[in-house]
């Protein structure tokens, strides 16, 4: 079995969904997560706070430097993630499609290096 990362690609600009729309999206996301659990593909999932809450840690000359805010400015950012365990890329893409329908944002599907036990 391989682990895959399903990344939620979130636009940095634009209006967020209304509270009513967000409630429906979160209901769909909860259903998606439940389906992953029932299929035995669930490993972990979670949403992330905005990039403004990030702290970048850099190693420099044996010391570390902390910088507030995102590492880079961009038109999109990682808004959440889901790690799944499935047998092959086709299965990962099938889950990616379901995630995109539930979340209504683009989903990047990417395999982790190597294999995992179980």
pTM: 0.90
Q: Which residues pair with 45 in a beta bridge?
A: 82
Q: Which domain holds residue 21?
A: 2-111
Q: What percent of the chain has pLDDT over 70?
A: 97
Q: pLDDT tens digits for 53-85?
A: 999 999 999 999 999 987 777 899 999 999 999
Which pLDDT band holds residue 117 (cuts at 50, 70, 90)? low
Quote the number of domains for the chain.
Answer: 1
In a domain, 82, yes or no: yes
The CATH number linked to 65 is: 3.30.70.1060
Place of tokens 């999109």: 76
**Does the pLDDT at position 21 exceed 80?**
yes
Residue 54, Cβ density class (10 Å: 0-12 exposed, 13-18 middle, ≥19 buried): middle
Q: What percent of the chain has pLDDT over 90?
A: 81
């Amino acid at each position: 079995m391989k682990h895959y990362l399903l990344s939620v690609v979130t636009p940095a600009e634009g209006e967020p969904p209304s509270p009513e729309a967000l409630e429906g999206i979160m209901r769909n996301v909860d259903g998606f997560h439940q389906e992953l659990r029932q299929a035995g593909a669930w490993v972990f999932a979670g949403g992330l706070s905005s990039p403004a809450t990030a702290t970048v840690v850099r190693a420099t000359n044996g010391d570390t430097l902390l910088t507030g805010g995102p590492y880079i400015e961009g038109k999109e950012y990682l808004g959440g993630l889901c790690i799944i365990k499935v047998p092959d890329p086709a299965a990962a893409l099938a889950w990616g499609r379901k995630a995109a329908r539930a979340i209504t944002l683009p989903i990047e599907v990417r395999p982790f290096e190597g294999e995992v036990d179980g």
